[in-house]
Structures are given as structure tokens and as C-alpha cells.
Amino acid sequence: MENFVILGGGLSGAAVLFTMIGLILMSFMVMLVKQYKRCPSNRILVVYGKIAGEQSARCIHGGGIFVMPLIQDYEYLSLKPLAIDIDLTGALSLNNIRVNVPSTFTVGISTEPPIMANAAERLLSLLEQQIASQAKDIILGQLRLVVATLSIEEINQDREKFLQLINENVGIELNKIGLEVINVNITDITDQSGYIKAIGQKAAALAINKAKVEVAEQEKMGSIGEATANRDKEVQVAEQHAQAQMGTKKAESEQRIALAKYNAEGITGEAAADREQEIAIAEEESKREQGRKEAELLQRVKVATLESQAIEGENESQGKIADSNAILAERRATARQKAEVAQANAHKIILDAEKEQELARLEKEEIVQQQISKKKIEIDADAEGERIRRVAKGDADSILLKYQAEAEGLRKVLDAKAEGYKNLINACGNATDLAPTLLMIEEMPNIVKEQVKAISNLKIDKITVWDNGAGGSNGGKGGSTSNFLSSLMSSLPAWHELANQAGIELPSTLGSIINESKQEEKAKKSTSSAKKSEGTEKEIGG
């Protein structure tokens, strides 16, 4: 019984062991199943951790891979396209015109192996908004670069080249972070100066003018064709009228010929009958002659009537032909006038379009350059003005300092003089006229010096005085030489006169000036005394 129990216990232990092994194997299989990751078509499976080779991660698009637990992990990158609105404004083009290029870029993570590796390194675990923000910054910079390499005309007209450059430049930069450009949609291109609008208006005007020229050309061709058809119609009608008149004339001519023939035959028959029956019808001679004359008269009247009718018909036909020719000429002139007017209008439209084109070219080539030159001149003028202002300010400051120094020195000199004058007046005491006198005496050497300068600059090489020793004309006193010297000295201003002009009275030690009246009285007295002495001498001599 014990053995059976032991055997039974052994069997239960083996069952437990097998059960545990089964559970372990099942758990391992479940783990294997769970660690085998499949990649859907709209995602990229990024396995990172311990990766064979030098790669930092392994990217798989489609299929599946076993992710080793503990040493490897995984994440997914979405291939969902991202629409990024780019509001590019004020981009500077090649011809220095700022343009606005609002556009929409559709980007997504690329499935190329090298680019997928870049995406795994730089975009893993980022949100869509963060990825769009990075892409937007890259697109804005590259789009400005592309605009700067193209002119306005190339951007506006050659859209294929523009988009190609955008795809190349933007795509290269986006590939560095694992993105690629799927689509570029440029909504509109405008510029701040209105140049593109002017180009569109010019193109529309050229198209309108070309259409107007073609319409005018077609109208001219239609008018010419109509005039040609009318002319051919009128010519054919005139030809038919002429043929009808010719037929009428021919019928009339044949009628007259037949009539004359019949008349001739009748006359011939009558003459023959008369010759045969001359004797028998002698008595009827006069009657026959009369009948013949009457027949001739009727014949002539009828022929004249037919002739006048024929001439009238010819005149009427010629009048109709002239009227038809006049109408035809008038229509030709009208058609020619319309054609010339249309041609002149078309030429005027072409000239206006060429004028607008030339103005646009001048505005592009010259006015922009003039504005640049004007701006440069303004900047240079501002710089030059600032330099002149600074130099002038420095000069003014130096002049002001100089004048302040001179004023300070002059003030000190005047203060010293005032102090000296004050001491001088105090020294003079009650003698108030003594101070000016002393100052005048102090300035006498300078006055004499200035008097000497008055005659020192005279250019006199030599003075020759002819003097016979006799008295001069001034009462016989003094010679010519002495008079010359005295008059020369008298031309110098006297001290007393200078002092009087200054309001100063010189001291008596320097002498005094005799009044003119006193001098004249003294001269008269000397003259009368001289005359009396001469009279006395004459009486003594007598």
C-alpha cells in the first residue's frame, strides 16, 4: 500500500513538472508572439537599443521584426502628410523688389532608408505640431533664398522653374531631418510695389490690342471681300447689259440689212417688171415713181426712228454703266477709308502698348536705379552734414573758449587799469584836472610817434628849394626854406588841439594857444608900427 502511494505521489510530481514546463513554453511562445512587431503601411517601425552595426536605430517600412526584450525597444513614425501654410511676405527678389508668396507645402516622412534614419534620429517621439514647426522654419528660409535668386518675371511667368528650385532647395534641407516634399501649392504671388499687377495689366492690354488688331484685320478682309463681290457683281451685270445692248444692236442691224435687201429685191423686181412691162405700164410710170418715193420715205423714216432708238438705248446703257462705276468707286473709297482707319487705329494701339512697355522698362531700369542713387545721396548728405555739424561745433567751441580767454584777460587788464586810475585819482586829491593831464602827458610819446608816422611813409627822394635869400611873400619874414619847413610842421596836429578835442586842459608849463583874433590884432599892430617906422625914416632921409 505504501509503494502504491509512493508511486502515485511520483506520478503527480511528474505531472506538475510537465505542467510547469508547458506553462513556461506557452509563456515563452506568448512572449515571442508579443515581441514580434509588424509594421503597417502608413507607419515606420523604429527599433532602437542594441542594433547590429553602427546604426543607432533600425527603420522598417512594411513587414515585421522580432524585438528582443530588455535590450531593444520600438516606436512608430507616422507617414501621415502634414500640410504647412507658409505666409511669406516681403521677400527680396533678384531685382530688389519685395514680393509676397503665400503657399501651402505638403510634407511627410520619407521611406528612403537614409532619410528614414534621419527621421528616426531627429523626429522620433515628436508631436505633429513640433515637426510642422521645424519644417516651417526650414521652408521659410529656403523659400526666401529661392526668391532672392529669381527676378519678378521668372517667378511670375516660369512657375515650373520656380517650383523646381523650391523642390530642390527645400527638399535637400528637409531630407536632413527625415522629411520630403510631397506637394507645393503657391496660391498667389504679389509684390508691394504693384509691379506684377502692372505686368498683368500690360499682358492683358497686349492681348486685347492683339485681338482688336485681328478683329480689325478680319473686318478689313470682310469689307474687302464684300467690295470685291459687289464689284464682280456689278461688272458681271454691266457685262450682261452690254451683251444685251450688243444683241439689240445686232438684231437691229440685221433687221436693217434684211429690210434693205428686201427693198433692193423689190426694187430690182419692180425694175425688171417695169422693163418687161415698160410699154404696157407707161401710163402707170408716174404712179409707180410716186409709190417708190413714198416707200423710200417710209424706209428712211423707219430707219431714222430705229437709229434714234438705238442711240437712246446706247446713251441709257452708258449712263447706267457710269452710275455703276461711280457707285463702285464710292464703295471702293469707303472700303479703303475703313481699312486705313482700322490700320491707323491698330497702329496707334500698338504704339500705345510699346509706349507702356517702354515706360515699364524705364521704371524698372532707371527709376529704381535713380531711387537707389537718391537714397545713397541722402545717406552721404546726412553723413556729410553730421560731419560738418561736428566740425562746426568743435570750431565754435574752440572759438568760444578763445574769446572767453581773451575776455577774461581783457577783464583783468581793465580791472588793473581801473585800480590804477583809482589810485591816481586818490593821489591827485582835490586837483581834479591833474589826473587827465598826467594821463595825457603819459600818452604824449605815442601821439608824437603817430605824428611822425604821418610823414614817415611819404615817398620823397629829394627836395630842392630855390631860395634867393630874400624875404617871402608873408611880409618879408623868413625865406622860402624856412616857410616850407614851418608849413610842413604846421600840418601836424598840435598838442593843445588834441588836448582840447579830448576835453583836457594842458598845464601852463606846456604853453598856451593864442586866439586868432589876438594874432590878427598883433599882426595889424606890427604892420602899422612897421609903416610908421618907414615913414619916419623917409622924413629923416628927406
pTM higher than 0.75: no
Q: What is the pLDDT of residues 478-503, one digit of tens each?
A: 555 556 555 555 544 555 666 666 56
Backbone φ and ψ of 145, nearest 5°: -65, -45
Are the CB atoms for 198 and 127 separated by under 8 Å? no
β-sheet bridge partners, residue 46: 59, 75
**Strand, helix or coil for residue 181:** strand
- How many other CB atoms are found less than 10 A from the CB of residue 335? 20
Average pLDDT estimate for 433-454:
69
Question: How much is the pLDDT for 83?
Answer: 93
- Rounded CA separation 141/173 (Å): 10
Angle of helix 434-456 versus helix 368-428 axis, rounded to 10 = 130
Question: How much is the pLDDT for 4?
Answer: 40
Cell numbers placing 159 = 512657375
Closest CA to 150 of 168, 133, 136, 132: 168
Q: Is the pLDDT of residue 3 over 50?
A: no
What is the residue type of 23? L
Backbone φ and ψ of 199, nearest 5°: -65, -45
Question: How much is the pLDDT for 502?
Answer: 57
Closest CA to 59 of 78, 79, 42, 45: 45
**DSSP string of 87-105, one letter each residue:** EEEEEE-TTS-EEEEEEEE
What is the residue type of 185? N
Fold of 73-193: Tetrahydropterin Synthase; Chain A (3.30.479)
β-sheet bridge partners, residue 76: 45
Average pLDDT estimate for 104-108:
93
Q: Is the pLDDT of residue 450 over 80?
A: no
- Rounded CA separation 60/120 (Å): 11
Distance from the first to the final alpha carbon of the chain:
228
Q: In what order do the strands lie in the sheet with 57-60?
A: 57-60, 43-49, 72-78
Question: How much is the pLDDT for 500?
Answer: 66
Share of the chain above pLDDT 70, in %: 76
More confident residue, 379 or 491: 379
- Mean pLDDT lowest among 64-73, 329-338, 505-514: 505-514
Band of pLDDT at residue 9, cut at 50, 70 and 90: very low
Are the CB atoms for 53 and 113 separated by under 8 Å? no
* Mean pLDDT for all residues in the chain: 77
Question: How much is the pLDDT for 524?
Answer: 61
Residue 208 Cα to chain centre, angstroms? 26
**Strand, helix or coil for residue 72:** strand
**Strand, helix or coil for residue 82:** strand
Residues in Cβ contact with 2 at an 8 Å cutoff, skipping those fewer than 6 apart: none
296 to 267, 284, 299: CA distances (angstroms): 10, 18, 5
- Mean pLDDT lowest among 9-23, 270-284, 342-356: 270-284
Backbone φ and ψ of 98, nearest 5°: -80, 130
What is the residue type of 277? Q
Closest CA to 83 of 108, 100, 102: 108
Q: What is the pLDDT of residues 21-73, one digit of tens each?
A: 888 888 877 777 777 888 888 889 898 888 877 778 888 888 888 888 888 88
Band of pLDDT at residue 237, cut at 50, 70 and 90: confident
Closest CA to 119 of 135, 96, 140: 135
Q: Is the pLDDT of residue 463 over 80?
A: no
Are the CB atoms for 480 and 472 separated by under 8 Å? yes
Angle at 288 between CA 286 and CA 289, to 5 degrees: 65
In three-state form (DSSP H/G/I as H, E/B as E, the rest C), the secondary structure along 377-432 is HHHHHHHHHHHHHHHHHHHHHHHHHHHHHHHHHHHHHHHHHHHHHHHHHHHHCCCC
Q: Is the pLDDT of residue 5 over 50?
A: no
Question: How much is the pLDDT for 542?
Answer: 40
Q: Is the pLDDT of residue 6 over 60?
A: no
Average pLDDT estimate for 105-127:
90
Q: Is the pLDDT of residue 469 over 80?
A: no
Backbone φ and ψ of 188, nearest 5°: -165, 155
More confident residue, 267 or 122: 122
Q: In the chain, helix, strand, coil percent, each to 5?
A: 70, 10, 20
Cell numbers placing 134 = 521645424
- Mean pLDDT lowest among 214-228, 347-361, 526-540: 526-540
Q: Where are the domains of the chain?
A: 1-37, 73-193, 202-278+287-353, 436-447+485-507
More confident residue, 182 or 281: 182
Q: Match 602899422 to its residue by C-alpha cell.
A: 528
DSSP 52: S
Are the CB atoms for 132 and 79 separated by under 8 Å? no
- Rounded CA separation 209/102 (Å): 32
Top mean-pLDDT range of 6-20, 230-244, 267-281, 421-435: 230-244
Question: How much is the pLDDT for 336?
Answer: 80
Q: What is the pLDDT of residues 146-157, one digit of tens each?
A: 999 988 888 887
Q: What is the pLDDT of residues 338-352, one digit of tens each?
A: 878 878 887 888 888
